[in-house]
Structures are given as structure tokens and as C-alpha cells.
Amino acid sequence: MPKKILVLTPRFPYPLIGGDKIRIYRICKKLKESGYDLALFSFVANREERKFTQHPDIQLVFSEIQTVFLPKWRSYFNSFVGIFRKFPLQISYYRSWEMAKLVEQQLSSGHYYAVLVHLIRMAPYIIEQKNINNINKVLEMTDAISLNYARNKDQKLRSLLGIIYRFEEKRVKLYEQECIRNFDFSVVVSPNDKNYFLEEGTPPALEGRIKIIPHGILEERMLEPSKKYDSNLIVFIGNLRTLQNTDAVLYFIEDIYPLVKKECPNAQLRIIGDNPSRKIKSFQGRLNIEVTGRVDNIVDYAKEACLSVCPVRIGAGIQGKILESMIMGVPVVATLMSADGIYQAIPDKHLLCSDNPREFADYVVSLMKDKDLRNKLAKDGYEFAKEKFLYGNLVKEYPALFSK
């Protein structure tokens, strides 16, 4: 009889939009292929999300699916109350007595061999359980969120979230340390995240509990570099629900794109991503800017681009948008911080990097004007991503975490 794993996710892991959903789905798919039986307990924010519980891709991976309805108004109320408590606000946001009761009932049945928790926001549902020391506990942490917040301090953030991030930093840092102590393994995507935890006070004895399994790229998005492309088209790829991507787009439009337009008046910018803010939408049709919103297939919108930009200034871990572009054969110009998590990548060979708006713009213009440079960077970036970051190769390490 297959060993059973309980999987807890804060958002339903389908459809595969956004790096967080893709990652946890591919991890679970690999565990299923490795012979484990998976039960999924997840929050949903509306009825539309519940429809995906019947999708064949989900049914193929999970033998049991249970959802808990958590409307946004309740999450906002939870967060307000959480201001006066010690936990991070994102923990308060996902507080639910119904989920807590459901998890407690399931774990007390004794049917589960292990739990897989997606992100620290779901960790309390395991940490606060009693008498479960006999099961394997794995936390898919992904990024060092407190490192993300720490990096925000030097940025002029463009929303209320910036204030919240500064408020949250210490709380999140303490809670991340608690998670590392309470889970058998905590998984992050880059050495930078692991090193940060060690620098911030994780006891050396727990170092082995922090595992590095990088972000990956979906094999179906592989597209060998083509010499046919639109030399005027620049793309940005990213879920615009996040502060880091919203900030990146506005930074590019306001500080870098005007410099590009001076040299290349016909330049076009295509912003590909779900949930663009009102301000980003306001640029639609201006300055040759296209805001697509959510698209069914990123490849169809990005494959013809001359280059992709990743001007992210806030965040930690690996920027999936860089890898997405590389595997489609589209060269990348990125900030140093956004490329930092993609260890082993060589600047000027696999991608171009700069934190200076003028230099960033010069790199963009160079790729638009120099066909040979553009094609070489596209080819080298593609080969690098193909060799190092395909999901099929990366998530094969995951089943070993449950083998103790």
C-alpha cells in the first residue's frame, strides 16, 4: 500500500499560473510518480477556484482533494487582528479554524506517513499540532522571505505593501527560524537563501535540514532560439499580483524605457502577466506599450521578442521569469539582484546585468541593434537553462526527503 502524504497549500495549485503554483504542482507530480499517495488540502478564495478540483491534471496527482473557503474579506480581517499579535501578517491572513480542525482530524487518523507544507503561511497547521513526531515533515519554503523584506529597506516602494513589508521583517525572520527548528527539512531555491538563514542565527546543527532544490522550467516551454524575431519588441514576464513585479515594471517604464526610446524610437514594450495594477494598465496604448493581462500561453506572446527584461529590485531566491525567457530562446537583461539567485549563470555570457538605469538601457539597445550579439546571448542562455534548470531534472531530488 502506497505511503500517504498530506499536502497543504495556501492557494489551489491549478491552473499553472505563477511560479509558486507550478513549483508545488511539479513537486507533487514527481512524488506521485515515485509511488506516494497524495491528499491535497488547500484554501480557495472563490467558487471559480473550486472548479479546478475536477481538472484531470489535478485528479491525476491527488487521490483526495479537500478545499476550505477563505474569502478575502475574512483574510483582511484576520490580518488586521494580526497586527496586535506576534505572528507575521501572512500567517494571520491564512488563519482558519476550519482548516486547523480538518488537519487535526486527518493527522489523528494515523493514515499519513508525511506532510508537505507549501510556504511558511501554512506551517502553523503543522507546528501547532501535538503528537505528530512520528511523521516526516517537509516545508517547501522556496524563498527566504525575510531576506526579501530586508532588501526592501533601500527601495522607494510604490505601495502600502512596502510599509507592511518593513513592519513584517522581524516577525517573519523569527518565524522562519521556528519553522526550520520544527520541520525535518525546509527547502529553498538558492544557496543565497540558505546562507542567509545561517547568517541570521540558525544553529549549525540544523544546517543539514535546509535543502537547496532550485526553481525549474516547464519542459513544454522549451523553444530553441530562432534567428527570426522582432528587433523592436521587448517583453516583461511576471505575475503582477506581486509587489516585486509591479515595482519592476514601473521602474523600467519610468527610469529605463525613456532612455531606450531615445535610441530606438520604434521600441515596443509588451508586459505579460496576470493582475496588472491600475497604474500599469494606464500605460496600455501609450509609448508603444501593450499590457496583455493573463494569457493562456506565455510562449505565444514572448517567443518573437528581441529580448526580455527583468528589472526586479525586490525579492529573494530565483527569478523564474529569467529562466522562462532563456528556455524560450529570448535573451535577458536583468538587475544584479534578480540574477543573483541563478547561481552558475555567467554575466555577459548567459545574460546581461546592471543596476544602473543608463547601463541597463544601453544593454537593451545593444541587443536591439546588434543581431549577432542578440543571437549569441539567446543561444548561450538557452543551453544554460536547458542543462541546469529543467523541472524534470530538479524535482527528482524531492522524494529522497521523505525516505527516512
Indicate the angle between helix axes 357-369 and 371-388, nearest 10 degrees: 100
Q: Which residues contact 167 (CB under 8 A, 6 or more apart)?
A: 89
Other C-beta atoms closer than 10 Å to the C-beta of 373 total 15
Model pTM score = 0.81
Sheet harboring 136-142: ordered strands across?
A: 64-69, 37-44, 4-9, 114-118, 136-142, 185-188, 210-212
- pLDDT score at 403: 80
Local confidence pLDDT in tens for the 404 residues of the chain: 789 999 999 999 998 877 788 899 999 999 999 999 999 999 998 888 889 999 999 999 999 999 999 999 999 999 889 888 888 998 999 999 999 999 999 998 889 999 999 999 999 999 998 778 789 999 999 888 888 777 665 554 545 556 676 778 889 999 999 999 999 999 998 888 898 898 877 787 888 999 998 888 877 777 777 778 999 999 999 888 887 889 899 999 999 999 999 999 999 999 999 889 999 999 999 999 999 998 888 888 998 999 999 999 876 555 788 988 999 999 999 998 888 778 788 899 999 999 999 999 999 999 999 999 999 999 999 999 988 888 877 788 899 999 86
**Angstrom distance (rounded) from CA 237 to CA 131:** 44
**Angstrom distance (rounded) from CA 67 to CA 233:** 42
DSSP 213: -
CATH topology of domain 219-388: Rossmann fold (3.40.50)
Strand ranges (DSSP E) for 267-376? 268-272, 289-293, 305-310, 332-334, 352-353
With beta carbons less than 8 A apart as the criterion, state whether 91 and 105 touch: no
Other C-beta atoms closer than 10 Å to the C-beta of 227 total 10
Amino acid at 354: S
Identify whether 15 is preceded by a cis peptide bond (ω within 30 of 0). yes
**How many angstroms separate the Cα of 114 from the Cα of each of 138, 212, 216?**
8, 20, 24
Judged by DSSP in three states, 348 sits in coil
Do 4-216+391-402 and 219-388 agree at the fold level?
yes
DSSP 252: I
- pLDDT score at 159: 52
- pLDDT score at 318: 59
Judged by DSSP in three states, 133 sits in coil
Q: Where are the chain's structural domains?
A: 4-216+391-402, 219-388
Q: Select from 3.50.50.60, 3.40.50.2300, 3.40.50.300, 3.40.50.2000 the CATH code of 4-216+391-402.
A: 3.40.50.2000
Residue 60: burial class (beta carbons within 10 Å; 0-12, 13-18, 19+): exposed
Q: Which residues contact 304 (CB under 8 A, 6 or more apart)?
A: 228, 229, 230, 233
The CA R_g of the chain, rounded to the nearest whole Å, is 21
Structure-block grid coordinates of residue 187: 527547502
DSSP-derived pairing of the beta strands 268-272 and 305-310:
unpaired
**Angstrom distance (rounded) from CA 121 to CA 141:** 9
Structure-block grid coordinates of residue 138: 517537509
